[in-house]
Amino acid sequence: MPLQRSVKPTLITSVERAAASAALGCSPWELGLCAGCGQLMRRHGRYAAMYCAVCRVELNGR
């Protein structure tokens, strides 16, 4: 049985955090984890949301 390499989104480096904030167009402190899938998204600040765009589409489709 192969070892499963689990992804830990909370353990990102400062470089990854800076890249994510640049990609999302927000400050690093605005980054947070999606309540649905746990990926990095804009979780704090002016355009904060509980879920990322992917999860929101899924929730709206239900």
The reply on whether position 36 binds Zn ion by CB under 5 A is: yes
**Contact pick of 18, 22, 37, 57 for Zn ion (by CB under 5 A):** 37
Question: What is the rounded distance in angstroms from the CA atom of residue 55 to the CA atom of residue 41?
Answer: 11
| Stretch near Zn ion under the rule CB under 5 A, chosen from 2-10, 11-19, 20-28, 36-44 | 36-44
**Contact pick of 34, 40, 42, 43 for Zn ion (by CB under 5 A):** 34
| Cα 56 from chain centroid (whole Å) | 13
**Residue 10, phi then psi, degrees to nearest 5:** -80, -20
Binding site for Zn ion (CB under 5 A): 34, 36-37, 52, 55
